[in-house]
Amino acid sequence: MEKCVVIYKSKTGFTEKYANWIGEELQCEVYPVENSNLVHLQDYNMVIFGGGVRAGKIDGVKFIDKFRNSFSGKKLILFATGATPTNEIEAIERVRSMNVPRNSGIPFFYFSSGFNYEKMKGLDKFFMSIARGMMRRMKDNEDAQNSMVADMKNSYDHSSREYIKPLVDYVKSI
């Protein structure tokens, strides 16, 4: 197996949890992106980067661009965490297409997580209240919207260690 490191950006703890699970399974080091300048990335053949999804963008995605420009020839794997259920294929595909450069060959994995209002900062809480209000007013597919609005009212955690299996299997197959 390649010598790898996991770098992550986590605001409410979900991505950190997944990064640590991946690190345990692959027996590799794990660092928050804020400490990535302390990591000698040239010492690794593979970097696994993860971040939470906000408005379709993966937090810390600028790290990917910096990495790709500085360390060509190294393998990069990207994962995202978010409140979108794993069966929402179209929504997850939008996240992939908004964050993974076309024809880059960067493998992408998505892990369902949840909401943690207790750890959200002011601006994120504000945007979530706006999103809930907008969804409440939408007329299309009212049952689905009502269910999503209800889910967005409280913190919840749908994280599961089993979600990392495809990523771990992929890395072990290289």
pLDDT of 144 reads 46
Domain that holds residue 9: 4-116+156-173
Residue stretches of the chain with pLDDT short of 50: 141, 144-149
pLDDT of 153 reads 60
- 103 vs 9: CA distance, rounded Å: 24
Do 106 and 141 sit in the same domain of this protein? no
pLDDT of 146 reads 46
Do 127 and 67 sit in the same domain of this protein? no
Q: Using alpha carbons, list the distances in angstroms from residue 136 to 106, 113, 122, 124, 145.
A: 37, 22, 21, 18, 7
Do 18 and 100 sit in the same domain of this protein? yes
Do 96 and 143 sit in the same domain of this protein? no
- 49 vs 7: CA distance, rounded Å: 5
Q: How many domains does the chain have?
A: 2
pLDDT of 28 reads 95
Do 36 and 108 sit in the same domain of this protein? yes
pLDDT of 94 reads 92
Do 40 and 86 sit in the same domain of this protein? yes
pLDDT of 145 reads 42
Q: Domain of 72: which CATH number?
A: 3.40.50.360
